[in-house]
Structure 1
Amino acid sequence: MLSLAGWSVLIQASLAAIPSYVMQCAYLPGKILDGVDRVNRNFLWGSSDSAKKVNWVGWDKVTKSKEERGLRLHSAKGRNIALLAKLNWRFQIESEALWVKVLKMKYSIKRGRDIFNKGSRWLVGKDSGLNVWHSNWTNGGSLRKLIHGPITQEASFLEVKDIMLDTGWDWGKIPFEISLEIKRMIQAIPVTILSRGAGKLIWAGSPQGTFDLRSAYRLAMGNNMVFNKKNRNSSLALEIVRQALEYYHCVASPRLQTCKVLKGIRWERLPQGWMKLNTDGSANGNPGLAGCGGVIRNDAGQWVVGFSKCIDITSSFVAELWGLREGLILCCNLYITSLEIELDAKVIVDILNKPAYVNNIISPILDDCRLLASRIPQIRVKHCFRQANRCADSLARMSVSLDSVFSSFHSSPVDLLDVFEDDFNGVNVNKLCPEPDVPL
């Protein structure tokens, strides 16, 4: 006999998958969708035409996610709409494909379009022809929903490319004052500065920016939790029980403790002729008010140039990439031929060392970083501990308090003088590090 979890796995693997082919191209009548749900529900609880059994939990609760104490089964209607939203997504992504052109000429795909519009947004480029007010190109949706009052006829035809500069935004093109919150939201949008293009479509519910059926289903069922970046606690009592069980497990079955040793961490100088770039990003919240900073030093440890940039509202991950791009721009402007990059964010180092890595959401900044790095003859990227990246960390933190959006420093700021001198003199900062395994 299978457990309830076993029955639910069989439903996901077979019964729920059988009608998926038809659901991808047609909106089924409500009677058929109810019938599919009835078959799945009877199979889960063991009911049949000859023997009816009690459904101990309502189907609307069973089809919720596990975070909401459900079994993560899909209702037929929600899955049908989510799959049609995927069809709308493919219509946009593969707009030049022959099959798309044929279907557009014969049919009008309306079902699933609302979910597609809610779940997707545009990543703008320098040649973007999207309407500033009515197109969905910001994290907050269309700007028209965020602005109260009328818009002049001339301003209503503004396109994104009309207010975009090479290194920022031209607020003077907008004939009225918009709020500081909206400006910050727009300024934090990743935009490529080295190439032109109209932009691309991304899916907001996916970390990679590609269509995600699970998030589309949640949106179709009226659950926006995956899109608002907040981890809501649906049951405080359940969380308390989980924490108590975790505590009991740790006390009753203690795991082997990892041996740690105290090590001295310091900023290391490079061989003659090499330059070192240290960058960092900082965000007061995730997302939150963010900034980045970095410093370039020569082989003798002397300060060449540093920078601080306020990015506004974004995540620390994007802030790290933004800081790397600003640092690489300075390196290219200085015609540096041998460069070592040090970051304390290992995930960024791993991404840069994997050319096949693709992420549509951060692609404008990531593509710029790869292109800038390719212009430097000798370059290597390394991970360092935060204790060896204190100058860049301090520059990133001070960026949100500076008067200008971007500031460059040809000598160490007064607030960083002690940290810079420690790096220059090779002063160690103690850190507990895992002890390396010693071969027997």
Structure 2
Amino acid sequence: MLAFNKILRFEKLIQNPVCLFRSLHKAPIPVTWEKPKIGWTKLNFDGSSKGKAGKASIGGLFRNHKADFLLGYAEPIGRANSIIAELAALRRGLELVLENGWSDVWLEGDAKTLLQIIAQRRQIRCAEAQRHISHINLIIPEINNCILTHIYREGNRAADKFAQMGHLCGKPQVWQHIPPNQVLSIMHEDAEDADYESSGGSRLKKHH
């Protein structure tokens, strides 16, 4: 895995109608969470910041092809803006990927601009953000197969819940195999929507 652009198939962001479908008439668009393929692990991540540079936290969760919960994480990261929080959430998720030995990983978040920066290996002016990006770019080549996609916030609610929980944590928290009660209903809805669409249905929701 020597070439970043070979392992990070960011073209899915362009091809996937879930990511880019728009309507001048504000018609409903698909925003539901999708299951990964058999053998793959999917990470949904999110960051939360109170104000421009207020108290920030991160969170995310890993699920398999059955939508089973594998692992979740949440933690406060001090004061940071939303950009730093999003990057920190992805970085922590990738560290957990390596710790757990997952080799085929689908990364998904709702900060589209940041995903493009990472996929294109662009440099940015903010030194703290660039440190996170550089670390992310070092971890991704360690993963056997890795794809990165954008999803609207409506489909990333479980990760958002973990990020919100991070504000209430006094220290980093990790859940394995058994998710916290706060995300059970969201995960159930994600799995139902994914099953419905995989069976040929199409659940469209209004994106705001």
Could you say which TM-score interval applies, normalised by the shorter chain?
0.7 to 0.9
* Whole-Å separation in 2 of the counterparts to 1:399 and 1:379: 26
Once residues 136 and 27 of structure 2 are traced to their aligned partners in structure 1, the CA distance between those partners, rounded to angstroms, is 36
Amino acid at match of 1:307: Y
Q: Is 1:282–2:48 an aligned residue pair?
A: yes
The residue correspondences of 1:94-173 to structure 2 (distance < 5 A) are: none
Q: Is the 8 A contact 1:387 1:429 kept in 2?
A: no
Shift of 1:425: 1.7
- Are 2:75 and 1:300 equivalent residues in the alignment? no
Shift of 1:429: 6.8
- 1:381 pairs with 2:145: no
Q: Match for residue 340 of structure 1?
A: 106
* Residue 424, structure 1, aligned to residue 199, structure 2: no
Kept after mapping to 2: 8 A contact 1:310/1:405: yes
> Alpha-carbon deviation of 1:276?
0.6
Of 116, 119, 130, the residue aligned with 1:363 is: 130
How many Å apart are 1:358 and its aligned residue?
Answer: 4.0
More strand by share: 2
CA contact (8 A) 2:76 2:167 kept: yes
C-alpha separation in 2, matches of 1:282 and 1:429: 26
Q: Which residue does the alignment assign to 2:32?
A: 266
Equivalent-residue separation in structure 1 for 2:151 and 2:122 (angstroms): 23
Which 4+ residue blocks in structure 1 deviate beyond 2 angstroms? 356-361
Structure 1 residues 293 and 432: CA distance shift in structure 2, 3 A:
closer
Does residue 413 in structure 1 map to residue 171 in structure 2? no
Q: Deviations over 1:206-259 (max 9, x none)?
A: xxxxxxxxxxxxxxxxxxxxxxxxxxxxxxxxxxxxxxxxxxxxxxxxxxx922
Of 262-271 and 308-317, deviating more is 262-271
Aligned to 1:169: none
| Amino acid in structure 2 at the alignment position of 1:296 | F
Give the secondary-structure state (helix, strand or coil) at the position aligned to 1:285: coil
Q: Any unmatched runs of 5+ in structure 2?
A: 1-22, 195-202
- In 2, distance between residues paired with 1:361 and 1:285? 18
Residue 321 (structure 1) aligns with: 87
Amino acid in structure 1 at the alignment position of 2:80? T
Residue 395 of structure 1 aligns with an amino acid whose one-letter code is: F
TM-score, normalising length from structure 1?
0.39
- SS in structure 2 of the partner of residue 273 of structure 1: coil
State the 1:426 CA deviation.
1.8
Q: In terms of Rg, which structure is larger?
A: 1
CA–CA distance in structure 2, aligned partners of residues 314 and 378 of structure 1: 31
Structure 2 contact 28–204 (Cα < 8 Å) conserved: no
Report the number of matched residues. 176
Query: CA–CA distance in 2 between the matches of 1:416 and 1:272?
Result: 23
> Structure 2 CA distance, aligned partners of 1:397 and 1:258?
32
Distance 2:117 2:207 in 1: 26
Percent identity at matched positions? 27
Amino acid at match of 1:375: E
Measured after TM superposition, the shift of residue 363 of structure 1 is 2.2
Distance 2:186 2:122 in 1: 37
**For 1:372 and 1:314, how far apart are their aligned partners in 2?**
22
Query: If the length of structure 2 is used for normalisation, what is the TM-score?
Result: 0.79
| Residues 135-186 of structure 1: per-residue CA shift (max 9 Å, x gap) | xxxxxxxxxxxxxxxxxxxxxxxxxxxxxxxxxxxxxxxxxxxxxxxxxxxx
What is the CA RMSD across the aligned residues, in angstroms? 1.7
